[in-house]
Amino acid sequence: MSARIFFLWLAGLAFAAAAPTDNILPARFCTISDEEDAKCQAMKTNFADRSLTPGIECIRGVDKYSCMQMIEEREADLLSCWSMDGYVAGKYHHLIPLLQEKHTTEPGWSYAYYAMAVVRKDDDSIHSLEDLRGKRSCHTGINRHVGWAYPVSQLNRRGLLQGGSCVNNIANVANFFNKSCVSGAKNPIWDPKGEYSNLCALCGGQGDTFCSASDPYASYTGSLKCILDGRGDVAFIKDTTFGEVIAERPEVANQKENYELLCLDGTRKPVDSFKECNWGTIPERVLMTSPQLSESQKTAIRNMFSLAQQDQEAFKLFDSSAYNGRHLLFHDNTKSLEDVGDKNDYEKYLGDYMQVKNHQFVCQVPAIRWCTISTVETKKCYRMRDALTARFVKPDVECVQANNTNECMQLIKENKADVIDLDGGDIYKGGKEYDLQVIMNENLVNGDAKYWGVAVVKKANADITYQTLKGKKSCHTAIGRSAGWNIPVGSLLSSGQITTPPDCNIAEAVGGFFNASCAPGALSAQFNPSGQNPQSLCSLCAGTGDNKCARNENEPFFGYTGAFKCMATGVGDVAFVKHVTPIDNTDGHNEDSWAKDLHLSDFELLCKDGSRKSPNDYETCNLAKVPSHAIVTQETKDAAEINRIEYLLDLGQFYYGEKKPNNFHLFSSGQGSKDLLFSDSTKSIKSVPEERRQYRKYLGDIADVYDKINDQGCQH
């Protein structure tokens, strides 16, 4: 038995002696992919076979941020995090470190890696951080830890980066250094006006690779090669980078002594002295848990993993190759799990990383307060906040929950919230009654910022046409919304099928036209102030108690998917939705139990000429084409405030706009929910020009239709 295994065996015995096993429940490991779940299930079986207690259960989350929520709410127990996510887990979900992953067996090594600044030994002009001003710098890439965040924070702490933006450091860095290679800096997300080309001046790529992640001077090894090739005066790398470059260029081994580390106090040391001379430490990955876990439970979990890792042949904790993945549950380079000791809260554990987070920007700005209308939407808002925080995105996001869009609009008007994403009908109301303006809009397929409102029926119900809707059962996204209410009601008014009543109560007329309906919100105080709206407008709704016919996610038939579900499950005869809704909920695109076996060919659209067509023919068979959903804010917001909101969301879609497995996705709500924060059919969001931000200018001619449906608009 080796000395190391003997030590682990003794440690296991010590843990076992300290851990009572009565009433200790299995540790619930949160997983975020099929591959991770497969490894977790194999670990569960192996631990049971080896009688390792308290054992493992595997709990599936949507992504790592949903796992943090689940642990906070005591629905799971364990999640392994890198520093950026450990910060989020601790700050926002109050999780604590339990076990740290150790990537080396070298005694005294406490960190994953060290951030270093390398200079040429024969360059006598650099003896302080101030001396770096005007020098040529080599970085791993924009917004990366060692090559950007760590040096930026150290320069900021010393007041060396002045002026510029409070949310984007690119101007500050470009003005500090003379020339640089910062791969990715040419992206319009960071440099929208192309003002800071000096940040790419030292890069060496050709064509599309120039100043990209594929540039020869990108990443850790690229940054070091940049100074080795004489392009830069300082290179920001980590402690293993010299070894990685030597593996590619063996001759560099003989050149190593020609370089030194620049320490934060201005002294210089040999490149192997990084433990004494570095710009910060990056902590190891850490297994985090809830502070509500009992001491006996935590001890039992530590004991279990301590015993489990003694025999890596019995189960390879730190190898994911058998499960077709990498770094599943733990990092594949991990050598052991060890107690965190006195670093038992996230701030202590993260150490230098806390300073990096706290000094990343030269000034502070208020958080953007996003208004949500349901608990499930608030949870997605928290996940968005978490994902953006982990990427150093500013401003921060705060989530403010209301009961419906009307309450949100009031909160924004009162400056108690800042933004919400609304459909055209609510944009009309928000501009008219709450003084809101449009600042960004959703784009659907091919960047189109408009969509078609359509009427969908089952193909089998062949007797239903646009002209025979009277007396049928109708499913609406919500009262007052575009595709689900304003467009079909306006169309039926224009065709004469519905007549405006003397008291101008359009809802009463709609209730008299259809036999029964689900129009969420139709009986709420906001849309039924006189109490005259027919009960039939909510009779088909599926919510229970106060949630029946609620104008939010608590009503199962709310929104596009809800209205389609209402019709597709046979509750209603016709659903008024947007053109992508039938496509998004059939042929396997929606995995919910009610939708997974539906086929697009089983549905048809009602055309205004009385014909019916396939849902794919929405361009020639629709009720109207209307502007897409859009993000609104106070009319009084100045340009700087609007720019910060736009920047936040531009970075949000830069990092999370593309749907990737097991990752947070800005435009996806997850199984069982739809259209949270944004429409799930959104492909991107785009700034609205200043001249179109007023609500009528954004809505265009369709605003006239909304006038006719609005109570005041029908007065003669």
Tokens, residue 130: 């101030």
Q: H-type helices in 626-665, by residue range?
A: 639-656
Are the C-beta atoms of 677 and 442 separated by less than 8 Å?
no
What Cα–Cα distance (Å) separates residue 536 from each residue in 373, 515, 516, 565?
24, 7, 5, 18
What Cα–Cα distance (Å) separates residue 538 from each residue in 405, 477, 556?
18, 12, 12
Cα separation of 713 and 716, whole Å?
Answer: 8
* Residues making up the binding site for Fe(3+): 113, 220, 423, 451, 560, 629
* Residues making up the binding site for hydrogencarbonate: 140, 144, 147, 477, 481, 483-484
Nearest Cα neighbor of 236 from 83, 114, 109 is: 114
Looking at this protein, which amino acid is placed at residue 75?
E
* Residues making up the binding site: 113, 140, 144, 147, 220, 423, 451, 477, 481, 483-484, 560, 629
Are the C-beta atoms of 517 and 473 separated by less than 8 Å?
yes
Any residues with CB less than 8 A from the CB of 64 and at least 6 apart, and which? 32, 79, 81, 85
Looking at this protein, which amino acid is placed at residue 687?
S
Tokens, residue 576: 């008024």
Give Cα 560 distance to the centre of its chain.
Answer: 22
Cα separation of 661 and 512, whole Å?
Answer: 47
Cα separation of 183 and 656, whole Å?
Answer: 19
In three-state secondary structure terms, 712 is helix
Any residues with CB less than 8 A from the CB of 95 and at least 6 apart, and which? 68, 71, 72, 79, 89, 288, 289, 290, 291, 346
Residue length of the chain? 716
Cα separation of 400 and 411, whole Å?
Answer: 9
Nearest Cα neighbor of 517 from 525, 526, 508 is: 508
Are the C-beta atoms of 566 and 466 separated by less than 8 Å?
no
Are the C-beta atoms of 151 and 117 separated by less than 8 Å?
yes
List of E strands, 145-196: 179-181
Nearest Cα neighbor of 578 from 436, 700, 442 is: 442
Exposure string of 569-595, with b = 16+ CB inside 10 Å and e = fewer, is eebbbbbbbbbbbbbbbbbeebeeeeb
Nearest Cα neighbor of 153 from 361, 350, 396 is: 361
Tokens, residue 515: 């036999």
Q: In degrees rounded to 5, what are phi and psi of residue 5?
A: -65, -40
